[in-house]
C-alpha cells in the first residue's frame, strides 16, 4: 500500500519513527509529511532514513515542475495516516482548512483514500467538546479514528489522550 504518514507537533511524534519503520518493513511504500511543529520534536532525516523516501514538509517546495506535490501524494495514497494528530490538525481538517502541506494532502485525498487519524494530546484537550465535535464531524464524512489510550501523559497528568500503541496503529492500518 502507498501510505502517506502525517506527523504533527506532539511529544508523541517520536513514535512516528517506529510507525514508519514498521510499515516499511511490512512492505508498504511510506511517504512522510511533517508539519512545522513535528519538526520541533523529530527530524525529517530520521523519518527519511526509516521510510526510505523523501520527507515532505514545505508546501511550496516542488521537486518536479511537472508534478503538484500535494495532489501527487494524495492521488497515489491508499491511506493517509495522521499519527500523532493534534487537536490543531483535527480542527483544521474539520474546518476545511488546507494551509499547510499535510492539510492540503488530506483534503485532496479524502475522496479517494482512507484517512486514519490517531489523536495524541492532553486529556483536557481531548475531552474538550469542540475537539469531540470536530472528530464526530470527520467520522460522519468517513474519516477513521484510532482511539487514544489512557496513560500518564507527558504533561504529568493521567487520562485519555496518549497516542495508541504502535502495534494497535499498525494492525488498524493493515486491517482497513
| Residues with active-site annotation | 155
CA distance 154 to 105: 29
Chain centroid to Cα 81, Å, comes to 5
Chain centroid to Cα 75, Å, comes to 17
User: Can you tell me whether residue 150 is helix, strand or coil?
Assistant: strand
Distances from the Cα of 104 to the Cαs of 28, 83, 154, in angstroms? Answer: 22, 16, 29
Secondary structure of 87-124 as H, E, C letters: HHHHHHHHCCCCCCHHHHHHHHHCCCCEEEEEECCCHH
CA distance 17 to 47: 6
List, in sequence order, every residue forming a beta bridge with 160; answer none if it has no partner. Answer: 150
Query: Which is nearest to 4 in space by CA: 46, 53, 61?
Result: 53
Amino acid at each position: 500500500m502507498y501510505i502517506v504518514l502525517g506527523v504533527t507537533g506532539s511529544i508523541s511524534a517520536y513514535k512516528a519513527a517506529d510507525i514508519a519503520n514498521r510499515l516499511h518493513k511490512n512492505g508498504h511504500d511510506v511517504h512522510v509529511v511533517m508539519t512545522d511543529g513535528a519538526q520541533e520534536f523529530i527530524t525529517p532525516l530520521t523519518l527519511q532514513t526509516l521510510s526510505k523516501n523523501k520527507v515532505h514538509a514545505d508546501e511550496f517546495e516542488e521537486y518536479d515542475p511537472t508534478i503538484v506535490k500535494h495532489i501527487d501524494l494524495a492521488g497515489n495514497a491508499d491511506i493517509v495516516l495522521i499519527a500523532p494528530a493534534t487537536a490543531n490538525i483535527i480542527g483544521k481538517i474539520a474546518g476545511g482548512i488546507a494551509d499547510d502541506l499535510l492539510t492540503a494532502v488530506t483534503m485532496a485525498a479524502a475522496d479517494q483514500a482512507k484517512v486514519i487519524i490517531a489523536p495524541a494530546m492532553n486529556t483536557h484537550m481531548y475531552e474538550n467538546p469542540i475537539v469531540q465535535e470536530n472528530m464526530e464531524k470527520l467520522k460522519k464524512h468517513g474519516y477513521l479514528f484510532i482511539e487514544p489510550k489512557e496513560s500518564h501523559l507527558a504533561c504529568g497528568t493521567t487520562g485519555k489522550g496518549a497516542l495508541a500503541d504502535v502495534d494497535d496503529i499498525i494492525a488498524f492500518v493493515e486491517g482497513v
